[in-house]
């Protein structure tokens, strides 16, 4: 993204609005309902898409100082991420090399980590530093020099971890090939200038992809959100662009209309739209007017019908006064309220519908291009044919 792209998205949205149209896929597309229900497919998704691909862990500001650490179990393995005294961010499996207890919980600042079970101590570089009664473990500190590293990338102000150790033990993750051009957007948003404000965790009884689906089309804004978003976002209009398996959908705010009477050099994309960047299977990164939101969705308990969404709010300047804190808290509360009281109740019914036997497929319209791209990308990653009906017919 650059200034020319910013203007071109705004112009396209104004044209769509005038013409009463939107970005359109070539054709509607049908997706198997088993995408939301099949335990075997779900197991493969967890293995390939959650633990086999880089997972967004947050922004650089989540580890603001040397010694800052956060633990994160959402990917189904315990992960510890810590900024060492050298400023380097590192990720480890949060699994003690003695008998496997979790070394540390939560988040905070520390120079070293002491396993609560038998007090083995690890440095902020993951190295095993001390073993009580070391004489009982001859040679063990050499055999087990530290926590198991996970590949990590910190770039453009964002942090990714591959939740599976590299075969060669590498701690570095080359994120560029995976971004497929999205890096221009990330650079444009200057994410390394943001500050963490607050986080919210919501457990749901539906497939994690239904949580992602919530963000991927504006067709429902005028109906499901008739009392809330309908007057904030223009329904059923989106600008759409793909980046490999990722995508960016831009929804115009109602105030976009004002741009028609303003000179172009005053046009601002962030203030006049809501942007949804879908990053492969489980992350939605959303620049929103004056702040950034990151939504991360994960399966829970290995079940296709259980999921959790973590919402994080990032702001341009740390909230110092009570008024500022209240302002940003209210922003987060509003986003969560609409999603959890309007979108997710509908999502729960879709999970029940998927298991009901009513239909083998659901259908996404031409006006829902991000839905089509997301689910086709997942099928590609899983090695499944895009058109399963045609594939089944040909096999007969
Ligand atoms: S399991 Fe960690 S010290 Fe024993
Ligand atoms: Fe919604």
Within 8 A by CB and 6+ apart from 324, the residues are none
Range(s) within the chain of domains with CATH label 2.102.10.10? 55-174
H or E, element range at 211: helix 208-213
Tell me the CA–centroid distance for residue 202 and ligand 1, in Å.
31
Ligand 1 pocket: which of 98, 102, 112, 146 to mutate (most atoms within 8 A of CB): 98
Q: From the CA of 235, which ligand is nearest?
A: 2
In the structure encoding, which two tokens stand for residue 61, read together? Answer: 């500001």
| pLDDT band with cut points at 50, 70 and 90 for residue 395 | confident
| pLDDT band with cut points at 50, 70 and 90 for residue 375 | very high
| pLDDT band with cut points at 50, 70 and 90 for residue 135 | very high
Which fold does the domain 3-51+182-395 belong to in CATH? Naphthalene 1,2-dioxygenase Alpha Subunit; Chain A, domain 1 (3.90.380)
Q: What ligand 1 atom has the least distance to the C-alpha of 115? A: 2
pLDDT at 392: 78
Cβ contacts of 129-136, under 8 Å, gap ≥ 24: 131/98
pLDDT at 372: 98
Ligand 1 pocket: which of 113, 114, 115 to mutate (most atoms within 8 A of CB): 115
> How far, in whole angstroms, is CA 383 from its chain's centroid?
22
pLDDT in tens, 294-329: 999 999 999 999 999 999 999 999 999 999 999 999
The CA-atom distances, in angstroms, between 123 and each of 128, 135, 170, 372 are: 7, 21, 18, 46
pLDDT at 393: 80
* Ligand 1, atom 4, residue with closest C-alpha: 118
Residue 233's Cβ-side half-sphere holds a number of Cα atoms within 13 Å equal to: 26
Measure the N-to-C terminal CA separation of the chain; round to a whole number of Å: 47
Which fold does the domain 55-174 belong to in CATH? Rieske Iron-sulfur Protein (2.102.10)
For residues 362-372, give the mean pLDDT: 98
Ligand 1 pocket: which of 80, 92, 99 to mutate (most atoms within 8 A of CB): 99
Tell me the CA–centroid distance for residue 313 and ligand 1, in Å.
35
Ligand 1 pocket by Cβ (under 6 Å): 96, 98-99, 101, 115, 117-118, 120
pLDDT at 129: 97
* Ligand 1, atom 1, residue with closest C-alpha: 99
Closest CA to 295 of 219, 212, 183: 212
Cβ contacts of 81-87, under 8 Å, gap ≥ 24: 81/57, 81/152, 81/159, 81/161, 82/110, 82/124, 82/126, 83/124, 84/124, 84/125, 85/111, 85/124, 86/125
* Ligand 1, atom 3, residue with closest C-alpha: 118
pLDDT at 250: 98
Q: From the CA of 230, which ligand is nearest?
A: 2
pLDDT at 388: 83
Q: What ligand 1 atom has the least distance to the C-alpha of 119? A: 3
Tell me the CA–centroid distance for residue 143 and ligand 1, in Å.
16
Tell me the CA–centroid distance for residue 155 and ligand 1, in Å.
34
- Residue pair 224/350 in contact (Cβ under 8 Å)? The answer is no
CB within 5 A of ion ligand 2: which residues? 343
pLDDT at 389: 80
Q: From the CA of 147, which ligand is nearest?
A: 1
DSSP code at position 339:
I
pLDDT at 365: 98
pLDDT in tens, 202-246: 999 999 999 999 999 999 999 999 999 888 999 999 999 999 999
pLDDT at 390: 78
Report d(CA 178, CA 55) in Å as an integer: 11
Q: From the CA of 229, which ligand is nearest?
A: 2
Tell me the CA–centroid distance for residue 303 and ligand 1, in Å.
30
pTM: 0.96
């Amino acid at each position: 993204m650059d200034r020319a792209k910013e203007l071109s998205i705004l112009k396209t949205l104004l044209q769509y609005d005038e013409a009463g149209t939107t970005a359109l896929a070539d054709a509607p597309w049908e997706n198997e309902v088993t995408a939301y229900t099949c335990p075997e497919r779900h197991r493969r998704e967890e293995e390939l898409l959650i633990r086999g691909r880089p997972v967004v862990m947050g922004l650089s500001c989540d580890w603001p100082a040397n010694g800052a650490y956060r633990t994160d179990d959402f990917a189904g393995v315990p992960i510890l991420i810590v900024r060492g005294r050298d400023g380097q961010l590192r990720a480890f499996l949060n699994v003690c090399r003695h008998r496997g207890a979790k070394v540390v919980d939560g988040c905070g600042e520390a120079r070293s980590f002491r396993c609560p079970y038998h007090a083995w101590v690890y440095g902020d570089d993951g190295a095993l530093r001390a073993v009580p009664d070391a004489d009982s473990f001859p040679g063990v500190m050499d055999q087990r020099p530290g926590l198991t590293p996970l590949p990590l990338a910190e770039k453009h102000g964002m942090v990714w971890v591959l939740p599976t150790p590299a075969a060669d033990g590498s701690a570095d993750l080359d994120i560029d090939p995976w971004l497929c051009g999205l890096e221009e957007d990330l650079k444009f948003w200057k994410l390394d200038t943001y500050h963490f404000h607050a986080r919210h965790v919501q457990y749901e009884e539906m497939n994690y992809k239904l949580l992602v689906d919530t963000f991927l089309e504006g067709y429902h804004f005028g109906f499901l959100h008739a009392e809330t978003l309908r007057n904030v976002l223009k329904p059923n209009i989106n600008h759409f662009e793909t980046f490999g398996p990722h995508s960016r959908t831009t929804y115009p705010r109602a105030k976009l209309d004002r741009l028609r009477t303003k000179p172009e050099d005053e046009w601002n994309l962030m203030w006049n739209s809501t942007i949804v960047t879908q990053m492969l299977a489980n992350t939605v990164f959303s620049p929103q007017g004056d702040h950034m939101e990151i939504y991360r969705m994960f399966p829970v308990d290995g079940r296709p019908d259980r999921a959790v969404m973590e919402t994080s709010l990032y702001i341009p300047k740390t909230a110092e006064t009570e008024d500022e804190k209240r302002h940003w808290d209210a922003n987060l509360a509003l986003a969560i309220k609409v999603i959890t009281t309007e979108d997710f109740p509908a999502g729960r019914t879709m999970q029940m519908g998927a298991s009901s036997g009513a239909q083998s497929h659901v259908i996404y319209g031409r006006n829902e291009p991000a839905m089509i791209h997301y689910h086709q990308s997942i099928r590609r990653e899983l090695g499944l044919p895009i058109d399963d009906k045609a594939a089944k017919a040909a096999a007969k």
